[in-house]
């Protein structure tokens, strides 16, 4: 039984690592999307007198 328990502990550790990687990736994508949106807004032409 000890071997099976050790296997489970090792596997759950791997699962924790994989979940942390996913969370990190989502954070990076969120930041990149934010930077992209700011860059798009910065290069959009400004409206002249609010009409054009």
**Does position 1 have pLDDT exceeding 60, yes or no?**
no
Residues 6+ apart with CB under 8 A from 22: none
Listed in sequence order, the residues at least 6 apart from 13 whose beta carbon sits closer than 8 Å to its beta carbon are: none
pLDDT of residue 16: 77
Output the pLDDT for position 24.
Answer: 87
Output the pLDDT for position 31: 95
d(CA 26, CA 33): 11
Inter-CA distances, 25 with 5, 15, 30, 41, 51, Å: 30, 15, 9, 24, 41
pTM of the model: 0.55
For residue 23, what pLDDT is reported? Answer: 85
| pLDDT tens figures, 3-52 | 777 777 677 777 777 778 888 899 999 999 999 999 999 998 877 776 76
């Amino acid at each position: 039984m000890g071997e099976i328990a050790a296997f489970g502990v090792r596997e759950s550790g791997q699962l924790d690592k994989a979940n942390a990687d996913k969370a990190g990736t989502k954070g990076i994508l969120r930041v990149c999307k934010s930077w992209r949106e700011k860059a798009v807004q910065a290069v959009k032409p400004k409206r002249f007198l609010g009409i054009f």
